[in-house]
Amino acid sequence: MKNPCYINGIGAVNAQGIWNDDPFAHITEISNPLTMAMQPSYKELIPPAMIRRMSKGIKMGIFASQQALDEAAMDQVDAIITGTGLGCLEDSEKFLKNVLDNDEQFLTPTSFIQSTHNTVGAQIALRLGCKSYNFTYVNGATSFESALLDALMQIESKEANQVLVGGIDEIAGRTFALKQLVHEVKADGAVEKLKDSQSPGVNFGEGGTFFALNTEKRENTYAQILEVSILNKLATEEVVDFVTSFLTRNQLTLADVSAVVIGNNGDLKYDIYYTTFCTLFANQPQIFYKHLVGQSDVASAFGLAAAAFVLKKQIIPKTIQWNAIKLSELKYVLIYNQYLGKDHSLTLLRHVET
Amino acid sequence: MEELKEELKGKIIEVLNLEDISVADIDDSDALFGDGLGLDSIDALELIVLLDKEYGIKLSDPKQGKSIFESVNTMADYIAKNRTK
């Protein structure tokens, strides 16, 4: 018998600010190629001696993880699992620039130490004094789902009862200038909202989203995570089979799904995957979120937060609904994400009566 | 010497990313480690690199570090006597 896995707390820092009781009420839709996260004050959370060495990725991770723990009333965890596509990119760039500028001499330790991908998970653990399982997944656009799958298995197999899982990614100048050159990011000067996308590339964002997972449901439980599935390569014509096989494994039909969360990012070439996916759910509400936080390798963590929010509140805010279909009861929500036609993932959530 | 001390304080603030601290906040005789500025072992490595990069001083004996990095006064004094650039 597997242990159930409940989302009891959420924390986030992104272009909309921080996670709150009504995170989709007052939103600003992003339209710039690169949109930074709105940084909260970290001084109350992190001692000055530590904060001076931290890049924004680490700070966002610490803030979001603490927010999730606070909401779940958890002060210790059995595992900290992090997903990141590009890690602490600012310090990686700083370190590499130092190597070049100083002819491989005078290399200082700080930016190197802070540039490794597992720094965020390590700093969260250091702050909590947590010596338990600590793992970081760097798997492109399934980095977060890989972390989530590990967390789910840790809980279901009774290895852990309380898990902190999340994703962080940050924008840094040089890397994203290169991404603009290969048209992964829209060109400077482009002002296009997600649904009005006309030029190549997508609007990128940054941020951290964390979840406090628990085997026990509480009054404030958002939802139960039932399954996560990852597939690296998938042709558009294989999407239907990917989805139906996934639902069959969970003894569900397409009609059982109350709403879907889609990862549309305005990519003229690859959003066709979402169009194909949505044809299966033409009669259900469709939810999108990347118009709020932008694309990143872990943006789908915010998609999970959106799905958990609608299941808990049993309402879909207008600001995140893609179509116009309404349902009175939301029981199962299915999240689909892919990026550049690769790194496909499905995550299934169920409503929890508290 | 006073000019060197001011310059040194600015460089320390810059390389150690001492947020909310200005040159005027650091007294020449303040302890850099422990109760003073509260620097730690990673900062010590940064200061060793600073001496090498900015003043051409290579610290060959780690035992020297404790007395050299005691304060801005002791650092400036050591730099003035040993700098190669």
A312: left (phi > 0), else alpha (psi -120 to 50), else beta?
alpha
CATH 3.40.47.10 fits A6-214, yes or no: yes
Q: Residue A102 has what pLDDT?
A: 86
Fold designation for A223-350: Peroxisomal Thiolase; Chain A, domain 1 (3.40.47)
A106: nearest CB among B17, B19, B49: B49
Convert A55-93 to b/e letters by CB count within 10 Å (16 or more is b): bbbbbbbbbbbbbbbebbebeebbbbbbbbbbbbbbbbb
Mean pLDDT of chain A: 96
Predicted local confidence at residue A155, as pLDDT? 98
Chain B CB within 8 Å of residue A76 CB: no
First to last CA, chain A: 22
Distance CA A142, CA A148 (A): 10
Q: Which residue of A has its CA nearest to B52?
A: A106
**Residues carrying CATH 3.40.47.10, chain A:** 6-214, 223-350
Q: Is A153 an 8 Å CB contact of chain B? A: no
Q: If you average pLDDT over residues B37-51, what whole number do you get?
A: 89
Question: In angstroms, rounded to a whole number, what is the distance separating the alpha carbons of residues A339 and A193?
Answer: 18
Which residues on B lie below 8 Å from A109 (Cβ)? 42, 45-46
Q: Name residue A298's amino acid.
A: V
| Per-residue pLDDT band at A241 (split at 50, 70, 90) | very high
pLDDT over 90, % of chain A: 88
Token digits of residue A204: 């990128």
pLDDT in tens, A262-290: 999 999 999 999 999 999 999 999 999 99
Angstroms from B49 CA to nearest CA on chain A: 6
Q: Which of B12, B42, B48 to mutate to test the interface with A (most CBs of A within 10 A)?
A: B42
Task: Provide mean pLDDT across the span A45-56.
Answer: 86
> Which pLDDT band, with edges at 50, 70 and 90, does A53 fall under?
confident
Q: Are A167 and A116 in contact (CB under 8 A)?
A: no
Strand intervals (E) in chain A: 6-14, 17-18, 34-35, 79-83, 133-137, 162-169, 204-205, 207-214, 223-233, 259-262, 286-288, 332-339, 342-350
Confidence check: pLDDT of A133 > 90: yes
Query: How much is the average pLDDT of B20-29?
Result: 90
pLDDT at B61: 81
Share of chain A above pLDDT 70, in %: 100
For the segment A309-352, what is each residue's pLDDT rounded down to a tens digit? 999 999 999 999 999 999 889 999 999 999 999 999 999 999 99
CA distances from B11 to A286, B28, B55 (A): 54, 14, 12
3-state class of A142 per DSSP?
Answer: helix
Domains and CATH numbers, chain B: 2-82 (1.10.1200.10)
